[in-house]
Amino acid sequence: MLKNFRTSTSFLSGTLLGLSLAVGLSAYALKDSEQIPFEDLQAFTEVFSKVKSDYVESVDEKKLIEDAIRGMLNGLDPHSSYLNTTEFSDLKIGTTGQFGGLGIEVGMENGFVKVISPIDDTPASRAGVMASDLIIKLDEKSVKGMTLNEAVKIMRGKPNTSIDLTIVREGEAKPLVISITREIIRVKSVKNRMLEPGYGYVRITNFQSRTTTDLLKAISDLQKESRLKGMILDLRNNPGGVLNGAVGVSDAFIEEGMIVYTEGRIDDSSHRYLATPGDSLNGAPLVVLINGGSASASEIVAGALQDHKRGIVLGTKSFGKGSVQTIQELRNGSAVKLTTARYFTPNGRSIQATGIEPDIKLSTVKLSAADEKASAAYSEADLDGSLSNPNGDDGTDEAGKGDSEALAETDFQLYEALNLLKGLNILSGFSDS
């Protein structure tokens, strides 16, 4: 956190997520073999009753029970949690990458909603909303005193409905009122461009249900522009997302063999994911960029490509989240996010709390100090209650963008990745004819 600017990024209006790897919806049912700890439950009932009767203020019993459930799950590990109906709905919206909203990334500053960035080609960007705008009113409601989630909930809504934003903008003598009509916002997880003729760049910001499709389209677009001699896959600061996205992205480059496997206590938690024939790059060299902000699904991809020797991994050690969370829907419409398995790379490596070590370690040299701190601040191993590594290892590392010579100034890692890619192209003898 930087001073009083608390970022809690929401893509108007849905919280940016990327923690869960596997999303499986199932109704909860107690197994016959499970025994209810009656005496402990009796103690819980007693405490609940005393809080209800003796606490200095009246307490909503539904909230009391919800808080108890949250405490039970939060005590397991950093990634298990309870999701009420609203939170569960937000999570499902986030994994599909589309929702009804305005199209701005927002945070909180001094009690007001601050625009971090409008998303390209969305209602907000077309209406003239700008980065650093302070939103002080939503329709006639002041945002002062609201939480970010409360403000986001108001800004979210059905497509074709409108909302008035009252904005304070630097350089303007008085607040601006901007009316915006909501649309379905599609958060783009895959971005691409050509760095130089023949050398493509694809960035994956998080893993959604359609990320693989978007990746294949991005590669196809690059190949139409110039036959690819090699490609850089940028997974820096990618917090993860859905498991099928990671498997699909890995499969786009791996011809055969294991991509990832998971192991847990229950049968449903143990899976093997295998590659299918075909390489979207037709054997062209691949460089994968990672850093301390690359987690979970990102690490699956980097680990699979590394074990298969399909790509050179460059950057700094990844975050080290090697656990799988399953989302289990409850009867009341809420859900439990529960850690049910660990995942392993094709060679049997668990990266839980250790991360993926790059083939070529390269710290960011020209990156701003603020960005560097943001990604290097902590790792999975630093999280209170994090799972241990079953292989007996424990570990802890950093951060990323640009065009040829200018890359050295704006993104040193990407600059070096491009140079490496050119060298690999020469050594491999890959033909661009």
The per-residue b/e assignment along 108-135, b for 16 or more CB within 10 angstroms, e otherwise, is bbeebbbbbbbbeebbbbebebeeebbb
Q: From CA 187, how far away is CA 99, in angstroms rounded?
A: 9
Of 186, 218, 242, which one is at a domain's C-terminal end?
186
The answer to whether residues 151 and 218 belong to one domain is: no
Query: Would 51 be classed as within a structural domain?
Result: no
Q: Is there a single domain that holds both residue 133 and residue 196?
A: no
Q: List the pLDDT tens digit at each of the 433 positions of the chain.
A: 333 333 333 334 332 333 333 333 343 445 555 677 888 899 999 999 999 999 999 999 999 999 999 999 989 998 898 989 988 887 776 566 666 889 887 777 888 898 876 766 789 989 999 888 999 999 999 999 887 778 888 998 889 999 999 999 999 999 999 999 999 877 678 999 999 999 999 999 889 889 999 999 999 999 999 999 999 999 997 878 889 999 999 999 999 999 999 999 988 889 999 999 999 999 999 999 998 888 899 999 999 999 999 999 999 999 899 998 888 999 999 999 999 999 999 999 999 999 999 999 998 654 443 444 444 444 666 555 667 777 666 544 433 333 556 778 889 999 999 999 999 988 887 654 4
Together in a domain, 221 and 263: yes
Does the residue 168 lie in any domain? yes
Judgement on whether residues 202 and 158 belong to the same structural domain of the protein: no
Residue 356: both structure tokens together: 């993926």
Tokens at 386, concatenated: 């994090």
Distance, in Å, from the CA atom of 412 to the CA atom of 237, rounded to the nearest integer, reads 16
Q: Determine the pLDDT at residue 357.
A: 97
Among the three residues 186, 209, 229, which one is the final residue of a domain in this structure?
A: 186
Packing angle, helices 243-251 and 297-307, rounded to 10 = 30
Q: What is the tally of structural domains in the chain?
A: 2
> What pLDDT score was predicted for residue 8?
31
Looking at the structure, tell me whether residues 346 and 238 fall in a common domain: yes
Residue 23 lies in a domain: no
Q: What are phi and psi of 416, to 5 degrees?
A: -70, -35
Q: Is residue 58 part of a domain?
A: no
DSSP 3-state assignment of 242? coil
Question: At 427, phi and psi to the nearest 5?
Answer: -65, -35
Same domain, 235 and 363: yes
> Which member of 137, 321, 379, 411 is catalytic?
321
Active-site residue (options: 20, 269, 296, 318): 296
Q: Which two tokens stand for residue 268?
A: 């449903």
CATH number of the domain within which 393 lies: 3.90.226.10
Residue span of the structural domain in which 376 resides: 190-324+340-428
**181 and 250 assigned to the same domain:** no
Residues 404 and 319 in one domain: yes
The answer on 216 and 299 residing in a single domain is yes
- The residue count of the chain comes to 433
**CATH code for the domain of 167:** 2.30.42.10
Q: Is 321 a catalytic residue?
A: yes
Q: Which of 153, 186, 219 is the last residue of a domain?
A: 186
Identify the active-site residue in 214, 307, 397, 411.
Answer: 307
My answer on whether 226 and 178 are in the same domain is: no
d(CA 138, CA 165): 5
In 169-307, the DSSP E strands lie at 176-181, 183-186, 190-196, 199-204, 230-234, 258-263, 271-274, 286-290
Residue 143 domain flag:
yes
| 335, part of any domain | no
pLDDT of residue 394: 53
Residue 307 annotated to the active site? yes
Q: Please say whether the beta carbons of 180 and 155 come within 8 A.
A: no
| DSSP H or E stretch at residue 114 | strand 112-118
pLDDT on residue 125: 86
Burial track 313-351 (b if 16+ CB lie within 10 A, e otherwise): bbbbbbbbbbbbbbbbbbeeebbbbbbbbbbbbbeebbb
| Structural domain includes residue 288 | yes
Q: Are residues 161 and 286 in the same domain?
A: no
